[in-house]
Structure formats: structure tokens, C-alpha cells
Amino acid sequence: MAMPLLGTILLAALATYLTRIGGHLVLSRYDTLHPRVEAALNAVPAAVLTTLVAPAMLNAGPAEFAALGVSALVALRGGMMSLFLAGAATLIVLRQFVG
Amino acid sequence: MTAQDAIDRGTQAPPLRDFLDGARLCLPVIVSSAPFGILFGALAVDNGFSVFDATLMSATVFAGASQMVGLELFGQKVAPWLIILSIFAVNFRHVLYSASLGRRIGAWPKWQQAVGFFFLTDPQYAESEKRAEAGREVGFIWYLGLALPLYLCWVIEAALGASFGKLIPDPHALGLDFLLPIYFLGMVMDFRHRPLWGPIVLTSGVASMLAFVFVGSPWHVGLGALAGIALAAVVAPVKPQPPEEGGR
């Protein structure tokens, strides 16, 4: 590997710190954001996180699909914790049967 | 400011009281984030991290969702620069918190501000805004009381999770390899009240799958995310709208 994991972690930490102090240093100079910029910023977390779920479905079997389905349903009513436990339980139980 | 407020501010609370005031607020956050702090450590080992790497990441990055993203991509052998960029993207929401919090803590000495921004997490932002809106002072000691217990627990949890993670005999049976997609799905669902959530998720989802198949593994993250973000920018109403349905 070109860069050791240690370097990756430290640079990721630096990048994260920049997001935490950068808004104060840069964004606060402007009174208002352009609506398109604001819409784009608002879209970032959902857009990035989706790309980590969708391709995982390409190689998913029945147990994995069921786990995601149950999680999505539970998410409509419960919080992160109940969703996560429901999804994990579904996955573990079904994998005993369908590998 | 009313006369009573002025009196309240005049009688300076002792630092310890301030600290404990903040610490009390972070208790529920500590309890609800603990499983994920431990899970991070366990999954880190499963994805090729050492106990030291996992603990160091929790101590320096201190942002749960993005740390999980880092694990997932490192496990997929994605190039380091793309891992860093993805972590940056997931954490980008902090920019908005930062701009907003800056108005509350602008009077702190510069070094205190620099320290304060390091600890700027979602609950840290939410509690600080609540306190400021209630007309109370967001002081450095109170802020640390809110931040430090959560931070210490988060670091310890990573070390614990990683140490235990090494002992798990069959990660597949426990579903460890597929817990991250479930976790990320939960995060995606968390944002579902934001404007344009459905179209963005659909666009990013389809684009990332296409990119995964036709372009190859690391690129599906960037290309998929860009597709959804571009859609949001293009579709966004540019004229000011009456009551804005804001994000979180």
C-alpha cells in the first residue's frame, strides 16, 4: 500500500477538523448562501451514505435483503438503535438457514 | 435581557457547576452511542485495523458515521486519498454547524475556539444552540463538560471493541461483514425529512450501482454522491420560498 494506514487516519482527522473549524473561518463571511449551494450541501450526507448501501445490494443474498428491508421499515417508526438491532437480528437468524 | 438575567449572569457559577451542567446533558448521548463506539472497534479489526489504529481513529477523527465509512472503504482496499475525501464528504455537514456555532463562541480566546471546534459533534451543536437560544451563556467550561465525557467514552469504547473484536471466531455468522450497510441505511433514513431526500437517494443509489458495475469499485462512492448532489443543486428552487422547510 502506498500510504500506511496511520497516515490515512491522521489526514482524515485533519480533514474532519477542517470541516469543524472551516465553517466558522470561511462560511461566516457570507451573509446568505446561494440556494443551489445550500441545497447541494444539504444533499451531501444522504448522497454519500447511499453509495455505501446500494452497491452492497448487488451481491446481497436473501438474508441480506431481508435485513435491509426490516431495517428500513423499523426506521420509519423507531430510532437508529432499534433499526440497527432489528436488522442485525434478522441477518444473524436468516444466515443460520441460508448461509 | 431582563433584570433577572443580568443578576443570573452576575452571579458567576463556579466552574465545577458549569462543567457538571454540561456533563449531565451528554449522559443520554453516551448511553446511545456506546454500542456504536464498541461496534466501530470490533468492525475495525474485522476490516484490517490494529487495536491501536482503531483507538487512534476514534481519538483523532471523533465522528462516528465517517469512521465507519473509513472502515468500509479501507476493507475494500480503496486508495487512501479517496478514503480521506469520503470521510471529508460525510463530515461536511459540520461546516454548517461551525458557521452557526462561531456566532456563539466568537468571544472565547482563540485557543479555546480552536479546541472547541475539535469537539463539534451533532449533539454538541444541538445542545449549544439550545442553550444559546434559551439566553444562557455558552461558556468554555460548560462546553467541555458536555464534550469531554463523551469523547473519553468514545475512545475507550474503540479500544474495548477492537480488543474484543479480535476474539470473535466467525465474523460471518455474526453478520459483522454486513452490519455496516445496515448502519449506513439507518443514517440514510435519518435524513429522510430533508428536502428532495427521495430523488437524491434514488439518483445516488442507481448511479453508484452503475458505477460499481461499469467503472469499478472505488469510483462508485464519488460518482454516485456527485449524481445526487448535482440533482439537488439543479432542482433546488432558486426563488426565496415562503416558509422554508430547513434541514437539521
Express each pLDDT in B11-55 by its tens digit.
Answer: 566 889 999 999 999 888 898 888 889 999 999 999 999 999 999
- Which tens digits make up the pLDDT trace of B182-231? 988 988 898 898 889 999 999 999 999 999 999 887 778 889 989 999 99
- Assigned domain for B59 exists: yes
Q: Helical H runs in chain B?
A: 3-10, 15-46, 51-60, 64-75, 80-90, 94-105, 110-118, 122-133, 140-165, 176-190, 197-214, 219-235
B207, B108: one domain: no
Choosing from B146, B165, B184, the residue where a domain stops is B165
**Residue B37 forms part of a structural domain:** yes
CB contact (8 A) between residue A88 and residue B70:
no
Q: In this structure, are B52 and B127 located in the same domain?
A: yes
Cβ of A20 and B94 within 8 Å? yes
Total number of domains in chain B? 2
Q: Look at residues B199, B31, B41 and name the one whose alpha carbon lies nearest to residue A80.
A: B31
What is the Cα gyration radius of chain A?
A: 19
Share above pLDDT 70 across residues of chain B, in percent, rounded to a whole number: 90
Considering the domain architecture, whether residues B113 and B30 belong to the same structural domain is answered as yes
Q: What is the ipTM of this complex?
A: 0.86
Phi first, then psi: give them for residue B166, nearest 5 degrees: -65, -20
Same-domain pairing of B150 and B201:
no
- Mutation to test the B interface, candidates A14, A51, A93, most B Cβ within 10 Å: A51
| Beta strands, E only, chain A | none
CB contact set of B172 (below 8 Å; sequence gap of 6+) = A95
Q: Residue B242 above 60 pLDDT?
A: no
Residue with cell 442553550: B131
Interface contact flag, B60 A9, Cβ < 8 Å: yes
Of the three residues B165, B184, B216, the one that is the final residue of a domain is B165
- Determine contact: A51 vs chain B, CB below 8 A: yes
Range of the domain at B216: 194-235
Q: Could you tell me if A68 lies within 8 Å of chain B, comparing CB atoms?
A: yes
Residue B139's Cβ-count burial label (10 Å; 0-12, 13-18, 19+) is buried
Q: Does A96 touch chain B (CB under 8 A)?
A: yes
Query: C-alpha grid cell for residue B228?
Result: 445526487
Residue B181 in any domain: the answer is no
Does residue B35 contact residue B171 with C-beta atoms inside 8 Å?
no
Give me the half-sphere count of Cα atoms (radius 13 Å) on the Cβ side of residue B214. Answer: 8
Judge if B41 and B87 occupy the same domain: yes
Verify that B226 and B151 share a domain, yes or no: no
Count Cα atoms within 13 angstroms, Cβ side, for B156: 8
Q: Which residue of A has its CA nearest to B86?
A: A48
Same structural domain for residues B198 and B150?
Answer: no
Does residue B171 sit within a domain?
Answer: no
* Structural domain includes residue B8: no
Do B33 and B100 fall within a single domain?
yes
Give the pLDDT score at B205.
Answer: 96
- For residues A21 and B98, the answer to whether their CB atoms sit within 8 Å is yes
In a domain, B73, yes or no: yes
Task: Say whether both B40 and B77 belong to one domain.
Answer: yes
Question: How high is the pLDDT of residue B65?
Answer: 87
Span B89-117, pLDDT tens digits = 888 878 878 988 888 898 999 999 999 99
Co-location of B146 and B71 in the same domain: yes
By the 8 A CB rule, do A72 and B152 touch? no
Q: For the beta carbon of residue A69, count every other beta carbon within 10 angstroms.
A: 13
Q: Are residues B99 and B213 in the same domain?
A: no
Tell me what the mean pLDDT of segment B65-74 comes to. 92
Q: Is residue B50 part of a domain?
A: yes
Residues in contact with B170: Cβ distance below 8 Å, sequence separation at least 6, in sequence order = none
Q: What is the rounded distance in angstroms from the CA atom of residue B165 to the CA atom of residue B21?
A: 35
> Is B120 within a domain?
yes
Task: Let me know whether B151 and B199 are in one domain.
Answer: no
Listed residues B145, B165, B185: the one ending a domain: B165
Q: Of B217, B131, B98, which Cα lies nearest the Cα of A41? A: B98
Pairwise CA distance, residues A6 & B212, whole Å? 27
Kindly state the average pLDDT of the residues A76-84. Answer: 87
